[in-house]
Amino acid sequence: MKHHSNNEKSELLKKLVEALDLPESAYERAAARYEDLGEWLGRPESTVERYDPHVYPQGSFRLGTAIRPLDDSEQYDLDLACKLTREATKSSYTQEQIKSLVGYEINKYREARGIKSPQEEKHRCWRLDYKDRPSFHMDIVPCIPGSESEQRAVFAKMAIHEDVAISQVASRHAVSITDDRHPSYRVISDDWLSSNPEGYAQWFEDRMTIKQAIVLAEKAQIDDLPAFKRKTPLQRVVQILKRHRDQMFKNDEDSKPISVIISTLAARAYQGETTLESALEGVLQRMGDYVNSTAPRVANPVNPSEDFADRWSMPQYSHLHLEQNFWNWLAQAQSDFELLNDRRSITFVGEQMQTKFGASIPLAAIAGIIGEQARADAIPSQVHVVSSETPKPWRSDSSK
């Protein structure tokens, strides 16, 4: 069996990321949307202007790890926070009041911008649907700043496990969020759910640049770039792993490992490798070591008492086999990336890209990378695999 050189494998993986990545125009359009919403909320006539609202991205858009949906007809998510930075406190407002204040202005914005789909209320957020191409929905989570005592508590917990400097930076971004399932939702109370999406992003970015693993040409400007333009090895690894997960569980969405677990474990396992191939290999080899044997199984780095994997042990989710599926996925990912070393034919590599990642990569491009000529009798311009079944060799019976 022939094997690809490390450079060839990295180039193949870069082609894969190109096929998975959202176009820069999608990021820019999304940024224009949330900046426009922020300006609307802060306009003089706004009923929340007095609270100095701040709208900012969170989740995969903030981290620069968003990927295209498997199916072009699917929407992708743009997760936002709307923080009321002034006057709104737990002693003067209920969660319900804060959520309603923000929701009222979001609906006014929807009407002013001609968004036809009704505003939708979720447990923690308000959703707006955009019919752009690619289409997306915007989830806006109302929140208020965490108190100084809450921020100090976050810092104290973080500093036990994390660098003191990043703990100081991240803890200052702690917020309290609204949730209509919370027992204190409709009453004045200090008891709100805590969150820290911006602190998590700061922690993730610290891991992205560990050992200064960005190319020298980018270093001078790296702090001025939005995350989606940086394209560090860690970001690309997370994108690839998320797509592999999506393809593996495309017929069983509820059972798949959630993105924040993949992102957190990958960031923990990343050791500053400078090539995509070495970063992916290292992360896959080590990420399972960062799953704790006792709760919290996968701790939130910016709120260590929160367990991202808490559903693994909840009886109401036992039928989904969430922990077993995580280990099944990790073993399968390790096996499938090893298969990319197999150089038996260009067609085989193309089929691997399609069946494991849902990515159609021109075989001529693959041939150019691995230094072989495409045989006219063997290769269409792209490989297309259409199946209603989960593609083999996904295993459903393996566990760690």
Which residues lie closer than 8 Å to 64 by C-beta, 6 or more apart? 226, 227, 228, 229, 230, 231, 235
Query: Maximum CA pair distance of the chain?
Result: 74
DSSP per-residue string spanning 363-380:
HHHHHHHHT-PPPTTT--
User: Three-state DSSP class for 150?
Assistant: helix
- C-alpha 309/C-alpha 237 separation (Å) is 21
pLDDT tens for residues 82-118?
999 999 999 999 999 999 999 999 999 999 999 989 9
Tell me: cis bond preceding 257? Omega within 30 of 0 counts: no
Contact 91, 188 (CB under 8 A): yes
- C-alpha 357/C-alpha 236 separation (Å) is 14
Which residues lie closer than 8 Å to 216 by C-beta, 6 or more apart? none
The pLDDT value given to residue 221: 42
Contact 332, 248 (CB under 8 A): yes
Q: In this structure, are strands 136-145 and 76-84 parallel, antiparallel, or unpaired?
A: parallel
The pLDDT value given to residue 301: 96
> Phi and psi for 342 in degrees, rounded to 5?
-75, 120
> How sure is the predictor about 316, in pLDDT bands with cuts at 50, 70 and 90?
very high
pLDDT tens for residues 13-68?
888 888 888 888 888 888 898 999 999 999 999 999 999 999 999 999 999 999 98
- C-alpha 393/C-alpha 111 separation (Å) is 49
Domain boundaries, the chain: 6-370
DSSP per-residue string spanning 198-259:
HHHHHHHHHHHTGGG-S-HHHHTTGGGS-GGGT--HHHHHHHHHHHHHHHHTTT-GGGSPPH
- C-alpha 286/C-alpha 207 separation (Å) is 15
User: Three-state DSSP class for 133?
Assistant: coil
Of 26, 165, 185, 73, nearest to 121 (Cα)? Answer: 185
- C-alpha 225/C-alpha 203 separation (Å) is 16
pLDDT at 274 over 80: yes
The pLDDT value given to residue 5: 55
Of 267, 226, 266, nearest to 64 (Cα)? Answer: 226
